[in-house]
């Protein structure tokens, strides 16, 4: 897939979610060399009939929550362990984002969810774009929220959990001028409105695995003022954005803590139950000795840690050592992974090596199925994607061996996962 090919910079390959992208664009991220940044339905919509439309409809899914001892995820009712094994469903190979087609091409979305389920996924991560849900600083888009409720119902009927990542500004041309012109305080207020609206729609659905406040937030360096909110352009997309353009004498920890507290409070007005996290770049991999910014103290409102890992060839041990930095008493999710910079065998070694501390792994799905790849001539860019899908499907039984809420005893012993 040419849209997702890697590039090489000073010997470092990169893709969305990796450090080299930001170095390539000159984004100052050295502020986190000593503190890694960032770790981290049914109040309803009003439909055309004037009646409230629920995001839940006879779902049989069991709610997922953190275990009481913080060692992982569990099914709320049975108490048995839940391991997240899923896929990022963020764009077509051609670059179309979910909101570009989820209305006029709904049948494709339904088919994709069925195919991801057939591959063995139990979690699907989606990325919601801020501009598609916000018409003005305090005015949300009713049609977009209704479509989100529809997607949640699809997840329920398909038997999939949703990792709902929000506040995306992936395409700069789509971001409203009024949003970019806002002060930090006003921007955070608008983000709170976004998350309140999403929580109002999704709050009563067990199909929501979590809310991810933002994909890969970053902060400017000390004594450095930035000029743009979305950053890290890669193949026409900006997967990261600043939480502020100026630390103004504050520490990165102070800014991040205040931001999380504000957005968590906005969600909790309508949804006091679903888990909340932040998907972060694993700075500890690039800066040995770096520490997570969202420790228990600074990330108190977050229910678990999410990191994005793309192990490099020959550096599986280094990746595992960096991942261990994020294991500090909360469930740990590898929210993005893919064998871009390493072989399938090395990615498998990373997964197996991380099973002692990780509670789930999410790869990628870009619409094309294994059968589709088998029926056409596969070029060099497509081959690793087909191999990835085949690996994911084959790996599913081992990952989900103890994932049944009906048959697994409560909190079974796991020799490979010590208590934290």
Reading the block at residue 326, the tokens are 């994020």
Angle separating helix axes 106-119 and 142-158, nearest 10 degrees = 30
Pair 308, 17: CB distance under 8 Å = yes
The secondary structure of 364-396 as a DSSP string is E--S--HHHHHHS---TTTHHHHHHHHHHHHHH
pLDDT for residue 420? 44
pLDDT for residue 382? 72
For 185, other C-beta atoms within 10 Å of its C-beta total 9
Q: How far apart are CA 215 and CA 241, in angstroms?
A: 8
Domain spans, the chain = 2-399
Q: How far apart are CA 72 and CA 197, in angstroms?
A: 28
Instruction: Tell me, rounded to whole angstroms, the distance of Cα 361 from its chain centroid.
Output: 11
For 312, other C-beta atoms within 10 Å of its C-beta total 18
pLDDT for residue 60? 84
- Tell me the HSE value of 131 on the side-chain side, using a 13 A CA sphere: 17
Which secondary structure element, helix H or strand E, spans residue 237, and what is its range? strand 237-242
Look up the CATH architecture of domain 2-399: Alpha-Beta Barrel (3.20)
First-last CA distance in the chain: 40
Angle separating helix axes 344-354 and 383-399, nearest 10 degrees = 30
Place of tokens 């990542």: 165
Pair 17, 239: CB distance under 8 Å = yes
Task: Select from 337, 394, 344 the least CA-distant residue to 370.
Answer: 394
Q: How far apart are CA 351 and CA 26, in angstroms?
A: 31
Burial of 78 (0-12, 13-18, 19+ CB in 10 A): middle
For 18, other C-beta atoms within 10 Å of its C-beta total 27
For 251, other C-beta atoms within 10 Å of its C-beta total 15
3-state class (DSSP) for residue 179? helix
Pair 346, 316: CB distance under 8 Å = yes
Rounded-to-5 percentages of helix, strand, coil across the chain = 35, 20, 45
Q: How far apart are CA 301 and CA 259, in angstroms?
A: 11
pLDDT for residue 156? 98
pLDDT for residue 138? 97
pLDDT, one tens digit for every residue, the chain (420 residues): 323 333 222 223 333 444 444 333 334 333 333 333 333 333 333 333 333 344 544 458 999 999 999 889 999 999 999 999 999 998 776 678 999 999 999 999 999 999 999 999 999 999 999 999 999 999 999 999 999 999 999 999 999 999 999 999 999 999 999 999 999 999 999 999 999 999 999 999 999 999 999 999 999 988 899 999 999 888 789 999 999 999 999 999 999 999 999 999 999 999 999 999 999 999 999 998 888 877 777 788 999 999 999 999 999 999 999 999 999 999 999 999 999 899 999 999 999 999 999 999 999 998 777 777 666 665 666 777 888 999 999 999 999 987 766 434 333 334 444 434
3-state class (DSSP) for residue 362? strand
Q: How far apart are CA 200 and CA 53, in angstroms?
A: 11
Reading the block at residue 37, the tokens are 């940044």
pLDDT for residue 317? 97
pLDDT for residue 49? 35
Pair 202, 262: CB distance under 8 Å = no
pTM score of the predicted model: 0.85
């Amino acid at each position: 897939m040419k849209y997702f090919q890697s590039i090489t910079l000073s010997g470092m390959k990169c893709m969305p979610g990796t450090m080299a992208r930001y170095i390539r664009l000159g984004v100052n991220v050295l502020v986190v060399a000593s503190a890694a940044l960032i770790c981290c339905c049914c109040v309803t919509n009003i439909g055309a009939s004037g009646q409230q439309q629920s995001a839940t409809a006879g779902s049989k899914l069991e709610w997922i929550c953190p275990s009481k001892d913080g060692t992982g995820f569990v099914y709320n009712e049975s108490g048995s362990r839940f391991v997240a094994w899923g896929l990022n469903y963020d764009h077509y190979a051609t670059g179309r984002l979910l909101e570009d087609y989820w209305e006029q091409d709904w049948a494709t979305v339904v088919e994709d969810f069925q195919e991801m389920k057939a591959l063995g996924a139990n979690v699907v991560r989606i990325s919601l774009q801020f501009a598609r849900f916000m018409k003005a600083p305090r005015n949300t888009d009713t049609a977009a929220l209704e479509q989100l409720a529809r997607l949640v119902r699809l997840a329920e009927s398909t038997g999939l959990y949703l990792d709902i990542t929000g506040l995306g500004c992936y395409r700069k041309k789509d971001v409203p001028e009024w949003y970019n012109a806002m002060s930090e305080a006003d921007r955070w207020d608008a983000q709170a409105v976004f998350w309140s609206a999403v929580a109002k729609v999704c709050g009563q659905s067990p199909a929501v695995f979590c809310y991810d406040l933002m994909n890969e937030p970053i902060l400017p360096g000390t004594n450095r003022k930035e000029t743009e909110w979305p950053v890290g352009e890669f193949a026409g997309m900006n997967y990261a954005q600043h939480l502020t353009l100026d630390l103004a004498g504050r520490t990165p920890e102070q800014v991040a803590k205040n931001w999380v507290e504000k957005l968590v409070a906005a969600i909790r007005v309508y949804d006091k139950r679903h888990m909340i996290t932040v998907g972060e770049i694993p700075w500890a991999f690039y800066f040995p000795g770096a520490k997570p910014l969202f420790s228990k103290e600074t990330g108190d409102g977050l229910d678990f840690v999410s990191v994005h890992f793309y192990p490099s060839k020959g550096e599986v041990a280094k990746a595992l050592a960096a991942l261990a930095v994020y294991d500090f008493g909360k469930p740990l999710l590898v929210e993005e992974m893919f064998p871009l910079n390493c072989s399938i065998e090395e990615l498998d070694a990373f997964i197996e090596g991380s099973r002692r501390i990780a509670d789930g792994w999410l790869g990628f799905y870009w619409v094309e199925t294994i059968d589709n790849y088998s029926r056409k001539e596969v070029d060099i860019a497509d081959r690793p994607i087909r191999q990835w899908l085949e690996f994911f499907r084959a790996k599913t039984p081992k990952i989900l061996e103890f994932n049944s809420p009906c048959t697994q005893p409560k909190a079974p012993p796991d020799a490979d996962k010590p208590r934290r």
